[in-house]
Structure 1
């Protein structure tokens, strides 16, 4: 990919790639900031898992001058969108600001530039850098981050009535999932297909139905997402069933549950509170309309 070529050509950049066993060291530092770091922590683990399944997966992790001691990380990923995921434990955020300001690795004019789940601790600093780098409109989508420890998630049990069943999604369901996603774009179908192929998903189906799910959710790189129930089946508790199912599945695999819920989505906020999720922080998804 073009991004790969650019990143390989830049030498002496303030951001140095971290790979191999050193990624474990990065995760160990981020772990000290849990649950505040749960989204970036799981983001890295999910992409490492995807890269094992698909070596061509375009994910790279960088630290300023190759040092992870302050938990300052910049991840660059292309998977249907051009994402820059960041985090830092440094209170002043200056190390992160310097890295974003001076690096030549980020293609600021690239279509689909996107900073997901920017933590409230450094949102203002990151947006200031972004504003100085791009010409397009910056759209800010405000969210609340929720989490549940993996041990607690593994204890949840999902049951469902006899007229339905739960099963993983397959690639044939990608179009219907994408069509209902409020954040769909010209490239989002590719992203949904990748989620179904590489990650965890669940759909709730009618026993006497047409083989299409009536409720579904997927484990995205930013957490459980794309939760949707079709209109004829709202208020039947199907979303709650699927969330218990996915929480249990992730917990048993040693993954903490994390979710980003858009402010104003009151039904989802009520659902995750009722399931026992804890609010961690506010975060913002920054999208550049180039």
Structure 2
């Protein structure tokens, strides 16, 4: 039998998302990844450069198997890690332009690694991160007032160039990514009340995690990172969402902050970048 990718849409994502509520919080990465893309599609049904796949067949549907290609990023999910269907789906993708395989839950990394090996793909990096988790009810307790002379509020798209410039992971296409996340996802910024200068920020990423958490150069070691983390966590909690963050094992300061706030490690997720096989990555400005 010929296995084929099947394009799916909003209704299928909503159906799959419900299946990921079982054994909570085991599948919270898949659940909140789908939550974000569901909201993206509701806000912009014609969103560019977003492709959603599963495999044809009832088993893939029962597994809630999904493969999401968001521009140059790849997200995956499945309730079953023993039947090889996720690997089959990944084998059918075109890897020639390279993918940033993003926040891949540890239960799925073998399927990704197998495809990388079978296609003889070169990796730029392959990094594990610890999944820090907090229940919504606990996130509601994190509400805090900012330091005197500062205000907490949602970010503006006009803040994106600064955030992109300061972001250690900025890359070709990342400015648009940050602009879109600010428009469509929960976020928080800390601003100087008088000058309106943005000094710290945090944005929910597509995978559902807190990300781009940063304090502007010159304002470090004043607790501003903790302030915006508490604020965005509280905002997610008010929406009934549990809160997740990914922290590299060597990032002791961030790990210490999340632990101190009450987050606990429940899993690992991986990030890996496959190199293009047909030249360098190119991406159109503003897409």
Structure-2-length-normalised TM-score: 0.87
How far has the Cα of 1:182 moved from its partner?
1.5
The answer (yes or no) to whether the contact 2:129–2:269 under 8 Å persists in 1 is yes
The answer (yes or no) to whether the contact 1:64–1:72 under 8 Å persists in 2 is yes
Distance 1:122 1:93, change over 3 A: farther
Give the Cα–Cα distance (whole angstroms) in 1 for the partners of residues 55 and 266 of structure 2.
26
Give the Cα–Cα distance (whole angstroms) in 2 for the partners of residues 18 and 31 of structure 1.
20
Q: Does 1:69 align with 2:59?
A: no
- Name the SS for the 2:188 alignment partner: strand
Question: Counterpart in 1 of 2:204?
Answer: 219
How far has the Cα of 1:109 moved from its partner?
0.6
Q: Does 1:89 align with 2:82?
A: no
Alignment of 1:55-204 (within 5 A): 55-57=45-47, 58-66=49-57, 67-78=60-71, 82-92=72-82, 94-101=84-91, 103=92, 106-111=93-98, 113-133=99-119, 135-204=121-190
- Name the SS for the 1:186 alignment partner: coil
Give the Cα–Cα distance (whole angstroms) in 2 for the partners of residues 15 and 251 of structure 1.
36
Give the Cα–Cα distance (whole angstroms) in 1 for the partners of residues 121 and 35 of structure 2.
33
Question: Counterpart in 1 of 2:279?
Answer: none
Question: Counterpart in 2 of 1:6?
Answer: none
How far has the Cα of 1:17 moved from its partner?
2.7
- Name the SS for the 2:269 alignment partner: strand
How far has the Cα of 1:34 moved from its partner?
2.9
RMSD: 1.9
Give the Cα–Cα distance (whole angstroms) in 1 for the partners of residues 105 and 150 of structure 2.
38
Gaps of 5+ in 1: 1-11
The answer (yes or no) to whether the contact 1:38–1:147 under 8 Å persists in 2 is no
Give the Cα–Cα distance (whole angstroms) in 2 for the partners of residues 33 and 191 of structure 1.
32
Question: Counterpart in 2 of 1:9?
Answer: none
- Name the SS for the 1:68 alignment partner: helix
- Name the SS for the 1:228 alignment partner: strand
The answer (yes or no) to whether the contact 2:14–2:38 under 8 Å persists in 1 is no
Question: Counterpart in 2 of 1:39?
Answer: 29
Larger mean Cα displacement after TM superposition, 265-274 or 141-150: 141-150
Distance 1:33 1:192, change over 3 A: same
The answer (yes or no) to whether the contact 1:173–1:212 under 8 Å persists in 2 is no
The count of corresponding residues between Structure 1 and Structure 2 is 271
How far has the Cα of 1:37 moved from its partner?
2.0
The answer (yes or no) to whether the contact 1:216–1:239 under 8 Å persists in 2 is yes
Gaps of 5+ in 2: 277-287
